Amino acid sequence: MSPEQLVAARTGRHGVYVPSNRLGLFLALRHWCSPGQRLLMSPISADEILFLVLAAGLIPVMAPVSLMDGNIELARVVASAVDAILTTNMYGLPEEVLAMAGTGLVMIEDVAHGGETSVRGRPLGTFGAAGVFSLSKHAGAGSGGVVAVEGAAERRALERERDLLLRPGALRKELLGVATSVARNAALRLDMARPAMRVARVLRLQEPRDGHRIPLRPEELRTALKSVPDLAALDTWVRADLHGYRDTRGAVARWYQSRRLAGLPSERDRRLAGVARLAELPTVAPGVLANVDQPLFRVPLLVADRDGAIAALARRGVPTGYLYDPPYDDYAAEFVEPSPDPEPARWWARHVLPVDPMYADRALPVVGSLQPAPPPPGDHRMRRAA
Output the pLDDT for position 182. 84
For 43, the 3-state DSSP assignment is coil
Burial class (CB in 10 A: 0-12, 13-18, 19+), 151: exposed
Do β-strands 118-119 and 122-123 pair in parallel, antiparallel, or remain unpaired? antiparallel
Output the pLDDT for position 9. 96
This prediction's pTM: 0.93
pLDDT digits (tens, 9 = 90+) for 4-16: 999 999 999 999 9
Burial class (CB in 10 A: 0-12, 13-18, 19+), 15: buried
CA 368 to centroid of chain Cα atoms? 26
Q: How far apart are CA 133 and CA 226, in angstroms?
A: 30
Give all strands (DSSP E) within 194-308, no chain letters.
299-302
Question: At CB < 8 A and 24+ separation, what contacts does 197-203 make?
Answer: 197/314, 197/319
Q: Calculate ∠ Cα 201-182-144, nearest 5°.
A: 90
Nearest CA-CA partner of 158 in 137, 136, 127, 131:
131
Confidence bin at 211 (pLDDT 50/70/90): confident
Q: Calculate ∠ Cα 213-295-97, nearest 5°.
A: 75
Alpha carbon distances (Å) from 46 to 64, 110, 127, 323, 324: 17, 11, 22, 8, 6
The DSSP secondary structure of 315-349, one letter per residue, reads HTT--------S-HHHHSGGGSBPPS--HHHHHHH
Output the pLDDT for position 385. 39
pLDDT digits (tens, 9 = 90+) for 283-334: 999 999 999 999 999 999 999 999 999 999 998 888 999 999 999 999 999 9
* Domain coordinates in residue numbering, the chain: 267-367
Largest CA distance in the chain: 56
Is the pLDDT reported for residue 196 higher than 70?
A: no
Average pLDDT across the chain, whole number: 92
pLDDT digits (tens, 9 = 90+) for 245-267: 999 999 999 999 999 999 999 99
Alpha carbon distances (Å) from 143 to 21, 135, 321: 8, 6, 16
Q: Calculate ∠ Cα 66-72-75, nearest 5°.
A: 80
Nearest CA-CA partner of 37 in 1, 83, 100:
83
Tell me which CATH code domain 267-367 carries.
3.90.1150.10
Is the pLDDT reported for residue 34 higher than 90?
A: yes
